[in-house]
Each structure stands twice: as structure tokens, then as C-alpha cells.
Amino acid sequence: MIQALEYLGCGILWVGSMILTIVKKNPIGIIILTLMHGTECFLIGVKTGLEYGKKLPYCIVMCMTFGFTWWLPLKQQMAAETFTEKDFELTPEILSKFNHR
Amino acid sequence: MPVKYEKNAVVITPAPEMNYLHNYVQLPYDYGTASYEARPDVKAIKATVRKSLDDLDKATGWKAKFKGQKVLIKPNLVFVTPKSGYRYDYDIPQTTDPRVFDATMEVLSELCDDIVIGEGSGLVTWTYAKMAGYDRIAKKYGSKLIFFEEESIDRYFCPKAECGQEVYVPHCISEVIKGERLYVSHPKMKCNIYTGVTLGFKNAMGTFSCNMRYRNHTWQIDKKLSDLLYLFKPDLTVVDGIIGGEGNTPGPNDPVLMNRIVTGTNSVEVDRVVTEMMGFDPEKNKLLIEAGKRGFGDKNVEVIGEKDILPFRPAEPTLLSERFHKNWPGVKLYVGHTNSRAPKLEKLIGNDRAFVDAMEDACRGGCIASLGTTFEVMFASYTYPLTKHRKLSVIVGNGAEKDGVKYWIGEDGKAYSLEDLKALPGVKLVCGECSSPAKDVASLYGFLWIRGCGEVNNLAVRTALSMMPTLPGQADMKYLPLIGVGALRKYAVKVTKAAMGKPTEPHFDAYDDGLYTIPELAAQDLDVDWVEAPIPPLDKDARIQAVKDVRLLANFLF
């Protein structure tokens, strides 16, 4: 849910910036968003997306549009799905929680 | 024709003891890479599946029959719900574990070049296949991924069938029926509120179009599914029993650490063995009884491996159980039937519990099971604390008759007339086309009278409405855009095909519990298992009707 709201927020920012550019002839919003997302894209966004298994053009489009709201959840999911041998041990907690053989 | 085995076998293979609870619903991000292949759980699952299939081959020689053949493999996708979808802190084990499916695909791909993965979850299969990672599995093995509900339908008559005589199946199933493609059923080991368990041949429910499917979720479901075996049956069954599912599937169920893979060449016998392993008596399971009566089992089957039993919490197709009352203290059932399966009403007060149970059971597999599923979804939803104490009277059936007056029996053993029902407090939900005598009792100016027989979606939506506020089954907003796109896509494909004269749905008449019946056949056709009955070309009016038959609700509900 949080991610959907973040995407929505990003969309509102873009639309607001476009309105500012068209109506007030002031492109500051678009410039800031492009610079911020461009920097994120260059420094971490594309790298994270590629590591996650996404294609380069997709990474660029998503990162330029949504910035950290796109790449941060991917990074978090990768961290959550990186396991060690210990994660596959059957612990007493697991056995007590579920019906098991 | 399906593969003929000289001997049938069922192989039970234990998997090494370990924690398999990571990614049993959705593949991880690194699927297909070296890091995925190096995971201990993935290695163990692959070794177990391979051993099971190798042992089965030694007993039956199935690999030689499959070598170079075209294959259709069907997993069992229901809802794909990671833990974030419900208020539980574990994933919901309703869907064939994609890690196990991948392991089976690996073995099959060594034998066959043309493997099609096909599934129709009855929901938004495109979305759920993506969520679970089946699209990535298909890509890895160069397989086509088919969504049955988007396929145009072919028609068959099954003269020997008891009730499912006219059957509509997706076009790609025709290849299986005609023996041009072998069929592998890959279910998950889990309970089912309609049929007790859902395993190898019950998995065929997913080959039906939406309308066929809803016409099957009635009291005749066991017969209908068994009748389908006349048309096609699995040539190989692989049951994913690594993490089983207990409870009220297709509502949210609970994981069982089962650690078993079961494979076999006769799906009825596989199901019989697995049912026993789940702690149920296969001799009492109506689905297996019906399949056995039609002669689809094999008494000479060899069972290889230990049939060790771990009792699963059964699915409860009832609103009268202790668990249901504990979860929903404000929900009361009033049920009355006059069908041939119902007990006769002799007295208006003091009916015992066995009588009320028998009355409820008179339409087992129909509205009651669908209600049970819907309540289970609402129970697992985040909004449950807000809905727990809502008062709701559920009225089911056309009423039992005594002295020309209709009555519905309450849990207290008392018979309630229409006037009594109207006087009940709270919201009143009237379920099923047959319950029309009580339709004036339904709340919201009659809107909570659920028309149709076995129309699950209609029932689920109105039940949820009567228990507002409630959340849909998949409450993780992250997936809502994907579900929305999937539903639109499915609807667009179906409407387009219908308009082009290639319908994906048969006509749906939800208002009786009759099933499609066949016209008179020639004498020589009566002695065969099936007869192909091509659907005649559709004229303009028929195309318009076909578009209408793609019902909005059935395609948009998730």
C-alpha cells in the first residue's frame, strides 16, 4: 500500500511540475525531479534494477519516473530474499507454529 | 487416447528435513541464477522431485511414453497471496509451489521439447502467474504459458457421464482429449471446502471457462468432476506436498510442513493415497467414491514409499461448526430444503443438531461451501476486528414444508416461518436461486437475495457487502495495479474473441441447478467416452449473446 501511495505522490509531483512549467513558464520542478532521479538512476537505480533482473531500458524509465520509490523496495526485497544456511534450519519456533510431520 | 500403462504406481518421496518456508508462493528475485540454484531448499526440492519421478519410471516406464511427446502441464493456481495480503504472518499455501513446479519442468524438459504450461485459476490467471513467477518458469524452459479462460472453447458430449454430459473445454485441451498432447497434473496437497481435498484430477476444474466453473460449484460437484475423467485424465500426476495447505481452501489456508512429493500414473489412485496421508478416509470422500464408481481407479496399483499420515485440519463446508461460531458469533444460519437429499420436517421446535446438520448438508458443495470460503476470506482480512460482531442472518434453501407452510430451521432446532425470519434482528442475506420463496426477507430492498446456483462471485460480493466494512482477499495494494491490468486484459481478450465468433464462454444460465445435457445421439455414439460436437458458426445475434456471456463480474472479481 505504501508503495502505491508513493507512486501516486510521485505522479502528483510530475503533474504539478508540468502545470507549473506550462502555466507559469517555470520549469524548476521538472528540472529538480529530472536531476534528482537522474542522479539516483546513475548512482544506484540502474545497478539495483539490473541486479534484480530487470532490463536496462525498464530500469531507466522506472527510476527516472519514480526515483527511490521504485528502487528502494527492490533493494529491500533483495535483502529479504538473500538467505544463509541458517535460514533453512527448522527451528523449534517454526515447528511449534505450524502443523508438521 | 491417454497413455496406457501396463502397471500403475504411486511413489511417495520424503524431502530432507529443513525449513522450506521461504518463497513457497512466489519465486525469489534471483530465480534462474546461480544463487537460486545454490539455495539448499531448491537443491533439496529438485533432488526429491527427480528421485520420485525416477522411482516412478522404474515402476511404470513413464519416461519412455513421454519421450519426444508434446505435453501440457497444469499447476494449481488459486489466489497467489503472500503474507502481506492478509493479517497472517505467513504466505497462503493455495498455489503449487513454483520451486517444485520448476523442478518438475526440469525433468520433463529433458524428455520433451514442446511443453505448454496451462492454467485457469478462475480469477485473473495472468496476474497470478506473474505474481507467483510462472511466467519466468515458462521463459526459462522456452514453454508457452496459456491462460485457459482466454482460450476459445470446444464442445464435447460425454454419453456415459451421469450429469456432466455436455462439456466445454479450452481449445488446447482438445489436443489432450484427442491424444495429441500428454497431460501432467501438478496440484498442491491441500484441503478443499467443496470436495474435501483438491488433488490430481480435481485440478481439472481449472480447465473450465468461468461459466462452466460456476455451474460446477454446486451440490453435484463430485459427480461433475468425476464425469470429466471420461473426457481426459492426467497421464502423470505430481503432487506438491512440500508445504501442504489445511483448512478452508479456496479461502486462506494454513501451511502444513509435510515434506513430501507424491507422483503417480493414475491420478485417482494418487489422490486416494494422498487423501489418506492427509488423515482423511478416502473411502468416505465423495469425489473419490464417484471416481471409483466410474471405474477410473486401479486396484492393482503399487504404492512405493511410506504412507505416513499427518492429519490436516479439514475444510468445513458448514456455518454450524464451533470454529465458525467462534469466528463469527453474530452470524446465524437458517436452512430449509425440500429436495430429495433433505430430511423431512416433522416438528417445529426441538429438532436436534443432527437434523439441522442434515438439512444444511442437503446442498453440500453449493451456497454453503461458497459462503464458508467467503467468510474465511473476511476472517483473514485486516478489517476482521471491525466485522467480527456484526449480526447477520443467512437464509439458505427453498424452505422445508410442513402443513403447506415453508420453514427454515435455525441452529436452535426451531423452524422459522417467513414472518419469523422478517422479524430477526440485523442484516438478512438470502442465498441461492432456490431460496426465492424467502427473497422478500433479504435486506437492502431485496438486493441481498443472491440469485444463481453455484455462482460463487455473485455470492461472495453480496456476502462481503452484507458484512461491510471488509477488504477484498488481496489487500496488498502493491498488487492491485497488476490485478486491475490483468482483469482488463482478460475481459478485453474474451470480449474480442466472442465478437470474432470464437467464444471463450458457453452460455450461462445461473438460475437453476441443472447441468448441460446432450441431445439424442446415434446408437454408436452412446458407447464411447466422448463425442466431439463442434460449435456451429455464430451469426450476428449469437455473437452478441457470446459477448454478453462474458460477464463483467466473473471477470473482474479477484
Rounded distance between C-alpha atoms, residue B463 and residue B363, angstroms: 18
CB contact under 8 A, B257 and A52: no
Task: ipTM value, please give it.
Answer: 0.83
Q: The cell 505474481 sits on which residue?
A: B131
Q: For residue range A52-62, what is the model confidence (pLDDT) as tens digits?
A: 988 999 999 99
The residues with which B166 forms a beta bridge, in sequence order, are B157
CB contact under 8 A, A101 and B254: no
Please give the pLDDT value at position B509.
67
Q: Which three cell numbers stand for residue A63?
A: 527510476
Q: Which of B23, B29, B480 sits opposite A78 (nearest CB)?
A: B29
Q: The whole model's pTM is what?
A: 0.92
Going by their DSSP bridges, the two strands B405-410 and B415-416 should be labelled as antiparallel
Instruction: For chain A, list residues whose CB is within 8 angstroms of any CB belonging to chain B.
Output: 1-5, 52-53, 74, 77-78, 81, 83, 85, 87-91, 94-95, 98-101
Listing DSSP states for B440-458 in one string gives GG-TTTTTTEE-SSS-HHH
Residue B510 pLDDT greater than 70, yes or no: no
CB contact under 8 A, B308 and A101: yes
Q: How many CB pairs under 8 A join A and B?
A: 71
Residue B558 pLDDT greater than 50, yes or no: no
Residues of A in contact with B91 (CB under 8 A): none
Q: How confident is the model at residue B557 (pLDDT cuts 50, 70, 90)?
A: very low
Residue B355 pLDDT greater than 60, yes or no: yes
Q: How confident is the model at residue B514 (pLDDT cuts 50, 70, 90)?
A: low
Q: At B97, which amino acid appears? A: D
CB contact under 8 A, B29 and A90: no
CB contact under 8 A, B18 and A95: no
Secondary structure of A30-66 in HEC code, one letter for each residue: HHHHHHHHHHHHHHHHHHHHHHHCCCHHHHHHHHHHH
Q: Which of A3, A94, A101 sits opposite B19 (nearest CB)?
A: A94
Q: Which three cell numbers stand for residue B131?
A: 505474481
Rounded distance between C-alpha atoms, residue B479 and residue B85, angstroms: 9
φ, ψ of residue B103 in degrees (nearest 5): -65, -40
Q: Which three cell numbers stand for residue B155?
A: 464442445
Whether B154 and B505 have beta carbons less than 8 Å apart is answered as: no
Nearest CA in chain A to B17: A90
Q: Which of A4, A87, A90 sits opposite B480 (nearest CB)?
A: A4
Rounded distance between C-alpha atoms, residue B280 and residue B309, angstroms: 9
- What torsion do the CA atoms of B34, B102, B275, B251 make, to the nearest 10 degrees? 90
Rounded distance between C-alpha atoms, residue B41 and residue B425, angstroms: 53
Residues of A in contact with B30 (CB under 8 A): 53, 78, 81
Rounded distance between C-alpha atoms, residue B558 and residue B476, angstroms: 12
Please give the pLDDT value at position B217.
72
Q: For residue range B88-117, what is the model confidence (pLDDT) as tens digits?
A: 999 999 999 999 999 999 999 999 999 999
Residue-range domains of chain B with CATH: 9-27+40-296 (3.40.50.11440), 322-466 (no CATH)
Cα B441 to chain centroid distance, Å, stands at 31
Q: For residue range B243-254, what is the model confidence (pLDDT) as tens digits?
A: 999 999 988 999
Q: For residue range A27-83, what is the model confidence (pLDDT) as tens digits?
A: 999 999 999 999 999 999 999 999 998 899 999 999 999 999 999 999 998 999 999
> Roughly how many angstroms between the first and final C-alpha of chain A, as a whole number?
36
Instruction: For chain B, list residues whose CB is within 8 angstroms of any CB belonging to chain A.
Output: 17-23, 28-30, 32-33, 39-41, 90, 246, 254-260, 308, 310, 312-313, 476-478, 480-481
Cα B312 to chain centroid distance, Å, stands at 18
The residues with which B145 forms a beta bridge, in sequence order, are B117
Residues of A in contact with B306 (CB under 8 A): none
Rounded distance between C-alpha atoms, residue B336 and residue A59, angstroms: 60
For residue B214, give the nearest of B455, B531, B483 by alpha carbon.
Answer: B455
Listing DSSP states for B18-58 in one string gives S---SSSSS--TTTTSHHHHT-HHHHHHHHHHHHHHHHHHH
Residues of A in contact with B478 (CB under 8 A): 1, 3-4
Mutate to test the interface with A, among B135, B477, B479, B483 (most CBs of A within 10 A): B477
Q: For residue range B51-85, what is the model confidence (pLDDT) as tens digits?
A: 999 999 999 999 999 999 999 999 999 889 888 78
Rounded distance between C-alpha atoms, residue B370 and residue B362, angstroms: 15
Residues of B in contact with A87 (CB under 8 A): 19, 22
Whether B10 and B247 have beta carbons less than 8 Å apart is answered as: no
Nearest CA in chain B to A93: B19
Mutate to test the interface with A, among B478, B479, B485 (most CBs of A within 10 A): B478
Minimum distance, in Å, between the CA of residue A67 and any CA atom of chain B: 17
HSE-up of residue B64 (Cα within 13 Å, Cβ side): 8
Q: Which of A3, A87, A100 sits opposite B478 (nearest CB)?
A: A3
Q: Which of B19, B258, B478 sits opposite A88 (nearest CB)?
A: B19
Q: The cell 519426444 sits on which residue?
A: B68
What are the sequence ranges of the domains in chain A? 2-97
CB contact under 8 A, A3 and B254: no
Q: Which of A74, A77, A100 sits opposite B257 (nearest CB)?
A: A100
Rounded distance between C-alpha atoms, residue B500 and residue B266, angstroms: 39
Whether B189 and B258 have beta carbons less than 8 Å apart is answered as: yes
